């Protein structure tokens, strides 16, 4: 097959169609995502074994692990599936594709032609495009996106020049160099799977090479291991159109395969010996000497590799999650924890449903930032070392500047989202979020003001009595409790928001404020308190009350009480 400029453009167009199909499918999922859909996905992936079974059964139905992996990436991108729950599904998809290969080898089962699926899906979506109901239109987007995804995968297979057995005859010369040969053939196997876009076809070609004597059995086994890596290429390409979490899900799929291949290479010779013994037991012949059982032996190797690798890595899901989060950091600059994480990707945050889901996560993170500032302020109140006080004050000032920047960025994001909204209920939610980020920013300003007051007291060599210091610490502890309630409410779903606890926390703050003010008035009347010290002490009490009010405003906005 001649590969010129036209063929290159067709290949590039196929990749573009794949990315666009994933994007459109993800948007459709975002628009359709309701409580019922989330509950279904949550039920299907509630524990690791359920997630694995979901991946196996879905791959058995769809017949393409690449399609399933792209769908999982789309679910993660849409916020419908967490990264930790997606990893077992990807492991299950790897096992599911081996079951299809067993059937393929046993009865010559012909896999579904993806373009043949795409057009009927387009036909189903056509009448839905003319409906006015937003949810029905979302369904049409989902169907069209899925159809484009299938079509793109089919076009990729058709527009990549497939290597022939003759073209791969050079592999024979590279055999017999130990681990270097194994690594080389793993890499060639990965390129082979990327080129063909089908593990089934890649396996058939590998078997043909072994049966023709072009390569040996061990070389064919190394190619099969590499083909497992190559099947992750599609998901990683599709993830280019997604946010950071989609990219992490795709990297998790790649990492699962890389770790599995590394483990297999460590025990490569014993592993091959075990597969040979299994073939002899099940098929009565040695694949190294009898070409008729080669297809079975390589299929057993493929199945055993994915099954054993899945069983092992299923025990390390949290570690895989941490690893891919490090592989795809949100920012590579200091203080990345306090910069936007969920709103950074301009390509995918286009639907109001997804935008609000992302903004909610970012606002919850914003609330925890204010809570940490309060912790610094409590340390500043009792710290005596001038250097430590200076460092604490610098951190408080830095966090205050971050709150202003984050508020502005989230505000711009919500404003852009609001311009696309036609439903009043969504507009109300956006107004509530804008109110919340305003209160969160004002909390940062209040905490900075309190820090400057404490520094002013220190610079003027004014001192609180031990009783006054303890009274302020007790009041701040009540504010801290109110912060914890607010943070829980920011993380909770709307129906789980605890407004009663928020009101109770604010009430305790107000009661304690009144008690401290009455005590201060008595001290002022009796002349037991310095006037400047008393003003700073009173200002701190008032500021704690303001924090309580802003915290309560946040919970009320979350509950829909603007």
Please tell me whether residues 283 and 424 are part of one structural domain: no
Residue 154 lies in a domain: no
Taking each continuous run of H as one helix and of E as one strand, the counts in the chain are 21, 0
Output the pLDDT for position 247.
Answer: 86
Name the nearest CA neighbour of 464 among 377, 380, 529, 539: 529
Residues 474 and 526 in one domain: yes
As a whole number of angstroms, the distance between CA 393 and CA 399 comes to 10
pTM (global) more than 0.85: no
Inter-residue contact 121 to 151 (CB < 8 Å): no
| Residue 519 is assigned to a structural domain of this protein | yes
Q: What is the helix (H) or strand (E) element at residue 68, kind and residue range?
A: helix 65-77
In order of 97, 416, 437, 438, 560, the CA distances from 553 in angstroms are 52, 24, 11, 10, 10
> Which residue numbers in the chain have pLDDT < 50?
1, 34-35, 107-110, 331-339, 344-350
**Sign of the dihedral defined by the CA atoms of residues 359, 363, 369, 370, in that order:** positive
Domain end (from 257, 292, 327): 327
Question: What pLDDT is attached to residue 509?
Answer: 92
User: Does residue 271 share a domain with residue 382?
Assistant: no
Token code pair at residue 467 = 């009783």
pLDDT at 334: 39
Regarding whether 505 and 403 lie in a shared domain, the answer is yes
Q: Is residue 5 part of a domain?
A: no
Nearest 5°: the CA angle 36, 26, 228 is: 105
Angle subtended by helix axes 386-418 and 352-382, to nearest 10? 160
CA pair distance 162, 523, nearest whole angstrom = 89
3-state secondary structure of 540: helix
CA distances, 45 to each of 49, 84, 355 (Å): 8, 10, 24
Task: Give the pLDDT score at 447.
Answer: 93
Q: Is residue 270 part of a domain?
A: yes
Query: What CATH number is given to the structural domain containing 408?
Result: 1.20.58.220
189 alpha-carbon distance from chain centroid: 29
Shared domain check, 360 and 276: no
User: 301 and 209 in one domain?
Assistant: yes
Q: What are the pLDDT digits (tens) for 132-188?
A: 776 677 778 778 877 886 777 667 666 655 555 555 555 655 666 677 777 888 888
What letter would DSSP give residue 423? -
User: Which of the listed residues 294, 327, 360 is the one where a domain comes to its end?
Assistant: 327
- Ordered DSSP codes for 274-290: HHHHHHHHHHSS-TTT-
pLDDT at residue 160, rounded to an integer: 54
**Separation between Cα atoms, residue 490 and residue 348, nearest integer Å:** 23
Q: Is residue 1 part of a domain?
A: no
Alpha-carbon dihedral sign for residues 478, 479, 484, 486: positive
Angle at Cα 475 formed by Cα 473 and Cα 479, nearest 5°? 110
Residue 547's pLDDT is what?
Answer: 92
Domain contains 455 = yes
> Which pLDDT score, from 0 to 100, does residue 333 have?
38
What DSSP designation does 131 have? Answer: -
Q: Supply the pLDDT for residue 110.
A: 45
446 shares a domain with 528: yes
**What stretches of 223-361 adopt beta strand conformation (E)?**
none
Radius of gyration of the chain (CA): 30
Residue 348: name the closest of 6, 22, 4 by CA: 22
Tokens of 368: 């925890």
What is the reported pLDDT for 347?
37
> Please, what sign has the CA dihedral across residues 321, 322, 328, 334?
positive
**Pair 528, 449 in one domain:** yes
- Residue closest to 127 by CA, chosen among 111, 143, 106, 112: 143
| pLDDT of amino acid 548 | 92
Per-residue tokens: 63: 């017949």
User: Do 439 and 508 lie in a common domain?
Assistant: yes
Contact 79, 354 (CB under 8 A): yes
Q: Could you report the per-residue pLDDT of 221-258, keeping only the tens digit for each?
A: 888 888 888 888 877 877 776 677 788 888 998 999 99
d(CA 533, CA 520): 11
Write out the two tokens for 529. Answer: 């308190």
Q: How many domains does the chain have?
A: 2
User: Looking at the domain assignment, is residue 339 inside a domain?
Assistant: no
d(C-alpha 4, C-alpha 77), whole Å: 35
Q: Are the beta carbons of 44 and 51 closer than 8 angstroms? A: yes
Residue 127 pLDDT: 84
Query: Residues 378, 456: one domain?
Result: yes
Residue entry with tokens 């000497």 = 289
Alpha-carbon distance 527 to 84, whole Å?
62
Domain with 180, as residue range(s), is 33-111+161-196+198-327
Residue 78: per-residue pLDDT: 63
272 shares a domain with 357? no
**Could you give the count of Cα atoms lying within 13 Å of 485 in the half-sphere of its Cβ?**
24
CA gap 293, 299 in Å, rounded? 10
Q: Are residues 455 and 318 in the same domain?
A: no
* 130 in a structural domain: no
**pLDDT for the residue 181:** 76
């Amino acid at each position: 097959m001649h590969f010129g400029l036209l063929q290159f453009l067709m290949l590039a167009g196929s990749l573009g169609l794949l990315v666009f199909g994933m994007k459109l499918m993800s948007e459709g999922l975002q628009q359709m995502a309701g409580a019922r859909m989330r509950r279904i996905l949550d039920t299907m992936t509630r524990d690791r074994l359920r997630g694995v079974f979901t991946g196996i059964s879905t791959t058995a139905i769809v017949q393409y692990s690449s399609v399933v992996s792209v769908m999982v990436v789309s679910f993660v991108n849409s916020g419908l599936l967490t990264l930790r729950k997606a990893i077992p599904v990807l492991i299950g998809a790897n096992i599911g594709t081996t079951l299809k290969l067993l059937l393929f080898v046993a009865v010559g089962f012909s896999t579904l032609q993806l373009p043949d699926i795409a057009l009927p899906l387009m036909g189903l979506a056509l009448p839905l495009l003319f409906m006015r109901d937003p949810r029905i239109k979302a369904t049409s987007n989902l169907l069209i996106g899925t159809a484009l995804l299938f079509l793109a995968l089919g076009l990729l297979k058709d527009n990549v020049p497939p290597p022939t057995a003759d073209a791969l005859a050079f592999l024979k010369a590279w055999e017999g160099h130990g681990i270097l040969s194994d690594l080389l053939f793993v890499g060639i196997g990965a390129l082979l799977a990327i080129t063909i876009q089908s593990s089934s076809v890649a396996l058939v070609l590998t078997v043909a090479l072994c049966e023709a004597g072009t390569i040996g059995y061990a070389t064919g086994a190394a190619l099969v291991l590499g083909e497992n890596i190559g099947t992750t290429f599609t998901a990683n390409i599709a993830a280019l159109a997604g946010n950071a979490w989609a990219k992490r899900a795709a990297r998790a799929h790649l990492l699962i395969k890389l770790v599995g291949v590394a483990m297999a290479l460590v025990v490569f010779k014993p592993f091959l010996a075990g597969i040979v013994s299994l073939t002899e037991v099940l098929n009565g012949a040695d694949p190294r000497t009898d070409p008729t059982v080669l297809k079975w032996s390589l299929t057993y190797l493929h199945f055993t590799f994915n099954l054993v690798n899945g069983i092992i890595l299923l025990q390390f899901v949290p570690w895989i999650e941490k690893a891919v989060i490090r592989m795809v950091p949100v920012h590579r600059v200091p203080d990345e924890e306090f910069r936007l994480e969920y709103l950074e990707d301009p390509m995918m945050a286009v639907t109001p449903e997804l935008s609000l889901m992302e903004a909610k996560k970012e606002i919850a993170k914003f609330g925890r930032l204010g809570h940490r500032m309060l912790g610094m302020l409590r340390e500043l109140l009792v710290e005596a070392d001038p250097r430590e006080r200076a460092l604490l004050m610098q951190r408080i000032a830095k966090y205050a500047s971050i709150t202003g920047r984050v508020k502005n960025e989230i505000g711009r994001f919500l404003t852009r989202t609001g311009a696309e909204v036609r439903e009043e209920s969504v507009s109300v939610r956006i107004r509530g979020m804008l109110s919340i980020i305003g209160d969160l920013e004002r909390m940062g300003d209040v905490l900075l003001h309190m820090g400057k007051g404490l520094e002013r007291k220190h610079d003027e060599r004014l001192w609180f009595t031990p009783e006054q210091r303890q009274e302020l610490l007790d009041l701040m502890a009540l504010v801290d409790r109110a912060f914890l309630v607010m943070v829980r409410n920011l993380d909770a779903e709307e129906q789980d928001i605890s407004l009663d606890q928020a009101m109770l926390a604010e009430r305790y703050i107000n009661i304690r404020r009144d008690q401290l003010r009455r005590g201060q008035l008595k001290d002022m009347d009796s002349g037991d308190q310095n006037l400047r010290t008393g003003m700073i002490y009173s200002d701190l009490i008032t500021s704690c009350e303001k924090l309580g009010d802003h915290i309560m405003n946040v919970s009320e906005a979350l509950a829909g009480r603007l």
